[in-house]
C-alpha cells in the first residue's frame, strides 16, 4: 500500500511539473540581421531567463560539443521576463549558423534568491537546428519579397509567403499595415506574426516598415520591442548584395491633431527627425557605393492630398532627389500603381504594391527584376531597373 501511495505521489508530481512547464508561446524569429549580428526573438508563457546557443554550419551534430551560449542581458544583468530578445554579435559576414533557443523558468525571486523551474527549448534532435545567415554586401545576387497591407488576412499572408525559403530568399519586407490596429501581444501574433514564423521568419528575416495602422492601438508603443532593428529605431538602413535599402517609417496619414488619434500622435516631428537622418544617410559612403538604392516606405509620398503623404512629400522627396535612388516601394492604397520618374517631384519610379499581391524581386549586377504576383503566384506585372550609376 505504501509503495502504491509513493508511486501515486510520484506520478502526481511528474504530471504537475509537466503541466506547469514553461513553454515557448511564439517564435523564435530573426530580427536586426546585420553583417556581424542577429537578434533572436521569442516569448514564453512564464517568466524566464533566456539564452541562445549558436553553432557553425555543417553536418556535425549540434551535440558534438558544448556550444557558445549568448545570454539575454541588460547592463550586465540577465533579464527575467516573457519576451526574450538575444543579440548575437561578432559574427562573420555572409555566414550560415545554426541556433537553439532556451528559456529557464523563474519560479520565484525573493531577496537575492532565485528558484528556477524547467527549461523550454527548440529542438535539435528530432528536427534539424534552425538556421540563419548574416548579411553580405559582396553577395552577387539577392532575392527578396515585399508584402503589405495584410490587415490580418491570414489566408492571403499564407498564400503570399508561400515559397519563401531559407537559402533561396534573402529577406522579406513587411511594408506596413500587417494588422489594422495594435491591440495587444496576442492580436499582434495571431494577426500575422505566428503565420510568418511558421512560414519562414524563424530562418528568413522579416524587415518591418511600419504602416500607419501599426501606429494605432494600446500595443502600438510596445510592438517595436518585438521588432528590434540594428539602429534601435523603426527607420534604418542596411545593405545586402548590390542593394542599399533605406526603410522609412511613414507615421500617420491624417494631421496629428485629428480626433482619431486622441492627442497621441506626434508624427510631424518624427518625420522631420527622419529627414535629418536621411540627409546624413544619402551622404554616406555605404549609400553612395551601392549599385542600387531602394527606399521602402508604406505610404507613397505622392498621389494623395492627405496630410501624411503631403508631409512626406515636403520632407523626404527633396532629400532623395538627385541622389541616384533606383526606386521607391510603397503600399497603403491597396491598389497597384507604377509612377514613372517625374523630374519635378521624384526622379525615380515609385512602385505601389496592392494588399493582395506580392513583389518577388531579384537583384544582381545587370539589373533588378520585379515580378508582381497574385495569391496564386501568377505574374501580373514585371519591372526592370538598371544600376543607378
What does the binding site for Fe ion look like in residue numbers (CB under 5 A)? Answer: 177, 211-212, 332
Nearer to Fe ion, 209 or 364 (CB): 209
Write down the least CB distance from residue 16 to Fe ion, Å: 48
Nearer to Fe ion, 250 or 290 (CB): 250
Strand pairing of 243-247 and 292-296? parallel
Do residues 24 and 122 lie in contact, with contact meaning Cβ atoms separated by under 8 Å? yes
Query: What is d(CA 353, CA 145) in angstroms, rounded to the nearest whole number?
Result: 11
Nearer to Fe ion, 211 or 251 (CB): 211
Write down the least CB distance from residue 277 to Fe ion, Å: 22
Write down the least CB distance from residue 222 to Fe ion, Å: 20
Nearer to Fe ion, 212 or 364 (CB): 212
Q: What is residue 346's DSSP assignment?
A: B
Do residues 47 and 66 lie in contact, with contact meaning Cβ atoms separated by under 8 Å? no
Do residues 115 and 108 lie in contact, with contact meaning Cβ atoms separated by under 8 Å? yes
Write down the least CB distance from residue 90 to Fe ion, Å: 38
Of 297, 278, 284, 289, nearest to 242 by C-alpha is 289
Spatial neighbors of 387 by CB under 8 A, at least 6 apart, are 242, 291, 292, 326, 365, 367
Q: Which residue is nearest to Fe ion (CB)?
A: 332
Q: Give the count of alpha carbons within 13 A of 4, CB side only.
A: 1
Nearer to Fe ion, 116 or 261 (CB): 261
CA 309 and chain centroid, separation: 24
Nearer to Fe ion, 87 or 216 (CB): 216
Nearer to Fe ion, 121 or 304 (CB): 304
Write down the least CB distance from residue 334 to Fe ion, Å: 8
Write down the least CB distance from residue 253 to Fe ion, Å: 7
Look at the chain and count its residues: 389
Of 265, 257, 273, nearest to 315 by C-alpha is 273
Q: Cell triple for residue 34?
A: 546585420
Write down the least CB distance from residue 177 to Fe ion, Å: 4
Amino acid at each position: 500500500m505504501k509503495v502504491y501511495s509513493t508511486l501515486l505521489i510520484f506520478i502526481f508530481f511528474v504530471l504537475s511539473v509537466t503541466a506547469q512547464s514553461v513553454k515557448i508561446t511564439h517564435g523564435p524569429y530573426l530580427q536586426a540581421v546585420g553583417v556581424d549580428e542577429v537578434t533572436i526573438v521569442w516569448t514564453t508563457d512564464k517568466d524566464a531567463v533566456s539564452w541562445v546557443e549558436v553553432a557553425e554550419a555543417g553536418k556535425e551534430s549540434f551535440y558534438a560539443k558544448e556550444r557558445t551560449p549568448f545570454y539575454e542581458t541588460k547592463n550586465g544583468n540577465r533579464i527575467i521576463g516573457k519576451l526574450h530578445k538575444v543579440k548575437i554579435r561578432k559574427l562573420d559576414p555572409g555566414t550560415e549558423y545554426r541556433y537553439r533557443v532556451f528559456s529557464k523558468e523563474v519560479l520565484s525571486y525573493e531577496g537575492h534568491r532565485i528558484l528556477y523551474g524547467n527549461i523550454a527549448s527548440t529542438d535539435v534532435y528530432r528536427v534539424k537546428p534552425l538556421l540563419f545567415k548574416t548579411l553580405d554586401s559582396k553577395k552577387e545576387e539577392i532575392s527578396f519579397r515585399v508584402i503589405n497591407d495584410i490587415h490580418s488576412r491570414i489566408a492571403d499572408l499564407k498564400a503570399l509567403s508561400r515559397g519563401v525559403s531559407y537559402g533561396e530568399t534573402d529577406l522579406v519586407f513587411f511594408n506596413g499595415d500587417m494588422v489594422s490596429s495594435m491591440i495587444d501581444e496576442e492580436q499582434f501574433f495571431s494577426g500575422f506574426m505566428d503565420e510568418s514564423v511558421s512560414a519562414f521568419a524563424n530562418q528568413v528575416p522579416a524587415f518591418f516598415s511600419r504602416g500607419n495602422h501599426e501606429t494605432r492601438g494600446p500595443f502600438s508603443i510596445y510592438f517595436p520591442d518585438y521588432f528590434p532593428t540594428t539602429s534601435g529605431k523603426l527607420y534604418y538602413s542596411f545593405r545586402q548584395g548590390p542593394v542599399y535599402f533605406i526603410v522609412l517609417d511613414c507615421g500617420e496619414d491624417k494631421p496629428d491633431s485629428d480626433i482619431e488619434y486622441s492627442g497621441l500622435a506626434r508624427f510631424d516631428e518624427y518625420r522631420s527627425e527622419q529627414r535629418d537622418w536621411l540627409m546624413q544617410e544619402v551622404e554616406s559612403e555605404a549609400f553612395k557605393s551601392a549599385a542600387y538604392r531602394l527606399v521602402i516606405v508604406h505610404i507613397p509620398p505622392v498621389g494623395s492630398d492627405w496630410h501624411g503623404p503631403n508631409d512626406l512629400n515636403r520632407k523626404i522627396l527633396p532629400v532623395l532627389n538627385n541622389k541616384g535612388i533606383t526606386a521607391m516601394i510603397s503600399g497603403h492604397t491597396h491598389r497597384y500603381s507604377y509612377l514613372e520618374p517625374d523630374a519635378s517631384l521624384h526622379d525615380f519610379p515609385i512602385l505601389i504594391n496592392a494588399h493582395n499581391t506580392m513583389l518577388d524581386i531579384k537583384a544582381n549586377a545587370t539589373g533588378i527584376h520585379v515580378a508582381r504576383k497574385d495569391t496564386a503566384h501568377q505574374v501580373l506585372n514585371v519591372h526592370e531597373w538598371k544600376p543607378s550609376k
